[in-house]
């Protein structure tokens, strides 16, 4: 075989110095890439847990009235920012105001009844004292009259006085005894009147307490005709209109605290073994892929997400297929970059650095 034919055969099989150099370079590059990836994984990558099953969340408040009534004013609209204490809804206060005024009158009347009954009870105390004094005097007179009767009875027996005089003393003693009975009746009546007055005062106090409690409830209802924002936020899903009748607990709008949003990332159960509160999280927002958002683990759910569903899976019977569960991890966000607006429901990706934890 000639040298020309050998060269042609080598070229046909790709066995040229240039191709060998390229092959060596490729193998070296792949080897270096593998070594680099191995070093990265050993020093950094193995400590990073990533998931794209994560979303922006917030503690959204459902706004609902505590009382029923017709809507008089709705001073806010969808997507409007409000401050804590701002008026969100006003109900017609006419009926509740009338109830409050009626109960104010009732409380005043009951207070007057208490005063009248108390005064009557105090006056009956003086009447009782006077009646008891009169009773004591009547008893003294009765005792004196009885003593005279007995003395004249002895004199009559000895014929020192006529019978007519003795009978006069008997009548006088009987009259004094009747006076004692009348005085006793007066004392009993005065005491009964005082008891009745005190009972009336007690009843008036009970009625006043009931009216006062009802007045307090009516004042609360009147105050609740104005629904205010419980915290700073943005109004959303406003469904109420002026003139509409709303019931207790009926949802009329929601309030979203955009200043305090957080992320809930659903990691696989095989990823959370080294996760503890305080670890750094890097967040990538689908809507703002170039934004750099960081945070820290606030807490790890006490159960897998499936356990909180309405119908938790039951694996005790039938065929079993093992499925990796996901555990929600709550991430508190650091201050966001200027101009970045996150709203609940946004999709994000979360990456947790678990370095420095036990067992790492």
Report the CATH number that the domain containing residue 69 is assigned in CATH: 2.40.50.100
Q: pLDDT per residue over 179-226, tens digit each? A: 778 878 887 887 787 777 777 778 888 888 888 999 999 999 999 999
Is it the case that residue 87 has pLDDT exceeding 80?
Answer: yes
Note the pLDDT of residue 360.
45
For the residues of 299-335, what is the DSSP string, one character each? EE-SS-GGGGSSS----SSS-------EEEEEEEEPP
Shared domain check, 192 and 106: yes
Taking 70 as the threshold, does the pLDDT of residue 314 lie above it? no
- Please state, in angstroms and rounded to a whole number, the distance separating the CA atoms of residues 182 and 216: 50
The three-class DSSP label of residue 114 is helix
The encoded tokens of residue 128 equal 């009782």
Strands (E), the chain: 48-57, 61-63, 69-73, 81-82, 87-91, 226-228, 233-236, 245-246, 253-256, 262-268, 280-285, 288-300, 326-333, 347-353
Cβ atoms of 313 and 249 within 8 Å: the answer is: no
Same domain, 169 and 120: yes
Residue 157 in domain: yes
Res. 114 pLDDT band, cuts 50 70 90: confident
Structure tokens belonging to residue 56: 């922006």
Higher pLDDT, 74 or 5: 74
| 126/203 same-domain check | yes
- pLDDT value of residue 8: 52
- pLDDT attached to residue 96: 94
pLDDT greater at residue 157 or residue 341: 341
| Domain span at 156 | 94-223
Determine the pLDDT at residue 14. 52
* pLDDT tens digit sequence for 27-50: 888 888 888 767 766 666 577 899
* Eight-state DSSP code of residue 86: -
pLDDT of residue 23 exceeding 60? yes
130 and 211 in a single domain? The answer is yes
CA distance linking residue 285 with residue 341, whole number of Å:
11
Q: Are residues 217 and 235 in the same domain?
A: no
| Gap between the Cα atoms of 117 and 201, Å rounded | 5
Residue, of 20 and 247, whose pLDDT is higher: 247
Pick 23 or 253 by higher pLDDT: 253
Average the pLDDT over 103-120 and give the result: 85
Got the DSSP string for 205-272?
HHHHHHHHHHHHHHHHHHHTTEEE-SSSEEEE-----TT-EE-TT---EEEE-GGG-EEEEEEETTT-
Asked, for residue 322, whether it belongs to a domain, the answer is no
Look at residue 13 in the predicted model and tell me its pLDDT: 47
**20-29, 126-135, 290-299, 332-341: the lowest-pLDDT one:** 126-135
Which carries the bigger pLDDT value, residue 124 or residue 106? 106
pLDDT the model gives residue 100: 94
Q: Rounded CA gap, 259 and 233, in Å?
A: 7
Domain-terminating residue out of 199, 223, 247? 223
Whether 135 is covered by a domain: the verdict is yes
Integer Cα distance of 46 and 360 in angstroms: 9
- Whether 192 is covered by a domain: the verdict is yes
CATH number of the domain enclosing 179? 1.10.287.620
CB 68 within 8 A of CB 244: no
Residue 358, pLDDT above cutoff 50: no
76 and 180 part of one domain: no
- In this predicted model, which residue has the larger pLDDT, 155 or 333? 333
Average pLDDT, the chain: 84
Mean pLDDT of the region 319-338:
89
Q: In this structure, is residue 128 part of a structural domain? A: yes
Instruction: Select the more confidently predicted residue: 241 or 173.
Output: 241
Q: Are residues 153 and 102 in the same domain?
A: yes
Average pLDDT rounded to a whole number, residues 220-239: 96
Same-domain status, 137 and 207: yes
Q: Whole-model pTM?
A: 0.69
Lowest mean pLDDT, pick from 63-67, 158-162, 298-302: 158-162
114 part of a folded domain: yes
């Amino acid at each position: 075989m000639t040298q020309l034919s050998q060269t042609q055969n080598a070229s046909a099989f790709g066995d040229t110095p240039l191709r060998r150099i390229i092959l060596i370079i490729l193998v070296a590059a792949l080897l270096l890439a593998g070594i680099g990836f191995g070093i990265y994984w050993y020093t950094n990558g193995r400590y990073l847990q990533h998931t794209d099953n994560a979303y922006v969340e917030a503690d959204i408040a459902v706004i609902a009235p505590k009382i029923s009534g017709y809507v008089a004013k709705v001073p806010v609209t969808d997507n409007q920012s409000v401050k804590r204490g701002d008026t969100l809804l006003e109900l017609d206060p006419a009926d509740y105001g009338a109830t409050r005024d009626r109960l104010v009158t009732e409380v005043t009347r009951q207070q007057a009844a208490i005063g009248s009954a108390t005064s009557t009870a105090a006056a009956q105390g003086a009447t009782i004292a006077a009646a008891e004094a009169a009773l004591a005097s009547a008893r003294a007179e009765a005792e004196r009259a009885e003593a005279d009767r007995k003395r004249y009875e002895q004199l009559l027996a000895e014929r020192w006085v006529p019978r007519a005089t003795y009978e006069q003393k008997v009548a006088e003693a009987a009259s004094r005894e009747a006076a004692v009975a009348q005085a006793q009746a007066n004392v009993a009546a005065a005491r009964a009147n005082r008891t009745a007055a005190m009972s009336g005062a007690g009843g008036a106090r009970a009625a006043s307490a009931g009216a006062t409690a009802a007045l307090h409830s009516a004042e609360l209802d009147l105050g609740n005709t104005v629904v205010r924002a419980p915290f700073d936020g943005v109004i959303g899903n406003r469904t109420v209109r002026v003139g509409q009748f709303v019931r207790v607990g009926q949802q009329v709008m929601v309030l979203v605290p955009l200043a305090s949003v957080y992320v809930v990332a659903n990691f696989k159960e095989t990823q959370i073994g080294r996760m503890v509160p305080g670890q750094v999280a890097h967040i990538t927002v689908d809507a703002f892929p170039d934004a750099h958002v960081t945070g820290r683990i606030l807490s790890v759910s006490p159960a897998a997400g499936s356990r909180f569903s309405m119908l938790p899976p039951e694996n005790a019977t039938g065929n079993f297929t093992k499925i990796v569960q996901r555990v929600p991890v709550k991430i508190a966000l650091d201050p966001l970059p200027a101009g970045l607006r996150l709203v609940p429901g946004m999709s994000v990706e979360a990456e947790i650095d678990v370095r420095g934890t036990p067992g790492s």
